[in-house]
Structure 1
């Protein structure tokens, strides 16, 4: 690192390349391979001379370098020449790929699971609920969804530009107009979300995760945490609209429910039953914790971003095509597992199939319970009705935890099945109370 008065130049080495990050006081543009880096440097001869000397050494030594301003977002295309393999794999997130039980081919959940129109009635997911496409579509898809947007905080996991927005506006951002702020966004999920402008360096860029982690005693691998910035359960604070992670008591569904109860929070009141409910988002991180693979030390990156080969036959770390490991079994699985690819895929799909079947059963049971509560609630004693509401709420939050989690139970088969069994038992108990 070189420092001149208040100006800092940071040199970051990666292999044979050096990245030169210069503090926000020096507005310069990105350069590479010994171009003309001084074209926009302010008129400060001593500092300019120092930079010239350093870069001249790089040129004479045959070292590639990149200059960038440290506070500006470098979008994915800005790394195309310097990280070509990662960039080309990132572009593949635009592909629509399918597995037996998942994938990124969009379809209408409300058509596939008509019970959702009853279960989610009143929360927006009964109006528009499409399966998510690849990460590069995140911004486009959240803008186009028919669900209402509470504020600009709905952009928190849809665009790398949210980081700059939050730094500029602070906590005022959360309740600002969604569409006005969305117009300022230039990209969906991108390199900056996990690296800022430091290739190969994992960084947390979302403050809501940092606040959530304050409640957890154990340490977690950064190769999980960069994904946990978004692949978690969260809610929007009713007043400020701040993204809030409910981990005060832990990450299991009962812990999250206890946090909601203490904070007197619910997402909505069901118009048919009159009961208050929670809407779970996408708790991949919480589900994965304590799983077989987690206990062996495997991370999100190990399975979803494996070492791959490029078109020239060379290997590179890591694939930035965020897709199911079932599409990259040889790279994602075979270093640890024996057997054939076909056998491994069959084993995974057997586990997923069990969860999908049980989830479908509980989905039907939930709809039946809601319709019965609607029909009989006025005849129930108040104390019985309130207990039924609580059972419906607890059953639905456990079912939702599994239904919206994107691995169809594979991330933690034991946990997923346990939650569904608990939901089943709670639904049965609610019926018994009403009998």
Structure 2
């Protein structure tokens, strides 16, 4: 059996019916295209979340509330909320004590509740600011956040409660256009604030935040509620021990008698990454399911067109069988045609996927948060799936052709 001969015959048959072949492959092109893009979107989302969390593998997050990610000890699951109210641990004083008394701490950051305030610029309402974020003086340094314009908050900004804000990157263009934002006045909650700086692009919602000194937020908006601690170990391998030490230290600070009464939860980014992995896996399965439906529809199209081809070529099949062609060789010929059609369709779909990904990556029409990543695994899966579709949906027409009797096929009109 000469496989190359079968392939040449299949390609010749496809070329002789270009329009029908294209229409047959169109369903596969659409199916593989959606399949690849959805898998790539899932991979991109997972990679972006991992990058966001994995940048600080040595951090222990302490969140207000017992129903946060990871539970009180980061082990997962929900617990009852506090029955007895302990001392507040989300304060700058506690942060200072953590730095001094908890072993292997490199830095600790107090996070505040976000809030919203109506904002006006030159008489027009500003809707782009999603939240205002009160911060401490070392916040940007500890976070590694860099400015592209202006300057960070200084000690006097906190001490004298100066009304100044630093803006996330995505806020500048919509609010100020081509104007220099530094020194511009914004009316925030009826108070006049000056723009002191602009952060570099970070991705996610961070770019839509406006930041102000926590002392200013407290004075003008009554916002001084801490709700999160980020405590960093000196090295990554110390983070698990730090979580235990920190848990013990904070429990003592609450002055409670029972762990069941505490109103906070601890987790490391490793804990969060495990949950992200689980979520993105389920999300990817969902996207693959949608793509699979498109592929099944495309496969049915291939099967129907191949059945039509078998009917049209019945006399040809009869002649081949009359001169000695076996049932298997006839079956294999039509099966090869089906597989080549699906392979060509998948090749076109992969090329289109690459162009779409390049366009999205270059021009970001849906925003910088959208991440699409095509890796080799996705391409191999796409090609394997297309060939499988060709075999599965081509086998029935091929079997029908192979079962034809020469005498009946030769008399077919």
Q: Which TM bucket (shorter chain)? A: under 0.3
**Between Structure 1 and Structure 2, which shows a larger proportion of helix residues?**
2
Give the alignment's TM-score, normalised by structure 1.
0.21
Give the alignment's TM-score, normalised by structure 2.
0.22
Higher relative contact order (CA 8 A, sep 6+): 2
**Between Structure 1 and Structure 2, which shows a larger proportion of strand residues?**
2
